[in-house]
Amino acid sequence: MADATPSLHSVPALASMFRFQWEEAQQCHVLLYPEGMIKLNQSAGEILKLCDGERDVAAIVAALEAKFQASGLGGDVLEFLEVAHGNRWIRY
């Protein structure tokens, strides 16, 4: 598999097989794919919402830090993206 370690300059986008959306009946963001549905926790949902294939990781981190009035989120975001890429939810 390709190198799964993202950098701040990587530009993540949702892999084409997935559909990402807020699911009212589940009260959470989900990823839909041919075999089923992955329920996401809040932070995973917030990060994936920003994986639009245009923003790079640095911009995603900045947007999240602004939204949640926090700092130092970079490590957590990179860690999640690595897992997400390992699961083929996203591509760069």
Partner 1 sequence: MAIAGSATESASARCGPPLWLLAEVTYRCPLHCVFCYNPVDYTRYGEELTTEEWLRVLREARKLGAAQLGFSGGEPLVRDDLEILVAEAHQLGYYTNLITSGVGLTEQRIKAFKDAGLDHIQLSFQDSTQELNDFLTHTRTFDLKARVIKVVRAYGYPTVLNVVLHRLNIDHIEQILAMAEAMGVEYLELANTQFYAWAMVNRDLLLPTREQVERAEAVTNAFRQRVGDKMRVFFVVPDYYAKRPKACMNGWGSVFLTITADGVALPCHEARQLPGLTFPNVREAELSWIWNESPGFNAYRGDAWMKEPCKTCPERSKDFGGCRCQAYLLTGDATNADPACDLSPHHHVIEEAVLRAAEPQPDVRKIVFRNDKNSRALSERRVLEEPKRQ
Footprint of partner 1 on this chain (CB under 8 A)?
Answer: 1, 16-17, 19, 21, 23-26, 30, 32-34, 36-37
For the record, the structure tokens of 13 come out as 């986008």
Q: Please report how close the Cβ of residue 23 comes to partner 1 at its closest, in angstroms.
A: 6
Contact yes or no for 61/75 (Cβ under 8 A): no
Torsion of CA 53, 14, 73, 23, to 10 degrees: 130
DSSP, collapsed to helix, strand or coil, labels residue 19 as strand
Q: Which is nearer to partner 1, 15 or 58 (CB)?
A: 15
For partner 1, the closer of residues 32 and 62 by Cβ is 32
Q: How far is the CB of 25 from partner 1 (least distance, A)?
A: 3
Q: Which residues contact 36 (CB under 8 A, 6 or more apart)?
A: none
Q: How far is the CB of 27 from partner 1 (least distance, A)?
A: 11
